[in-house]
Homo-oligomer: A and B are copies of this chain.
Amino acid sequence: MYLILYDICNDKTRQLLVKFLKNRGLYRLQKSVFAGDIKKNYIKEIIIESKKIIVEGEDSFIIIKVNKDIFKKMIWFGIDIDVEKYLKEKYIEVI
């Protein structure tokens, strides 16, 4: 699984990136965070495409590879999160 975090100053650039990440099967976790269980070659493509889109020294783009267990142990509150959507598998919350 991958977490993608970004700070993009330009609105048009940001919208372009959001569209692109959604097309590659990632789901929006927060305004500037996407997550999903996608193939490695998609990540390579995302790196290539994102480097073309973002403004060096101004925008920030981070990719973190996490395993499903880490994602399942995530703590969240405020707005509910449908973890199964990200994991693409059944998930029983451990409280």
Number of copies: 2
Question: C-beta contact mask, A7-32 vs B, less than 8 Å → 1, else 0?
Answer: 10000000000000000000001111
**A79 near B64 (CB under 8 angstroms)?**
no
Q: Give chain A's interface secondary structure class.
A: mixed
Partner pick for A78 among B30, B61, B65, B79, CB 8 A cutoff:
B61
**A60 near B73 (CB under 8 angstroms)?**
no
Partner pick for A47 among B54, B73, B75, B79, CB 8 A cutoff:
B75
**A62 near B47 (CB under 8 angstroms)?**
no
Interfacial residues, chain A to chain B (CB-CB below 8 A) = 3, 5-7, 29-33, 47, 50-51, 54-66, 70-71, 73-79, 81
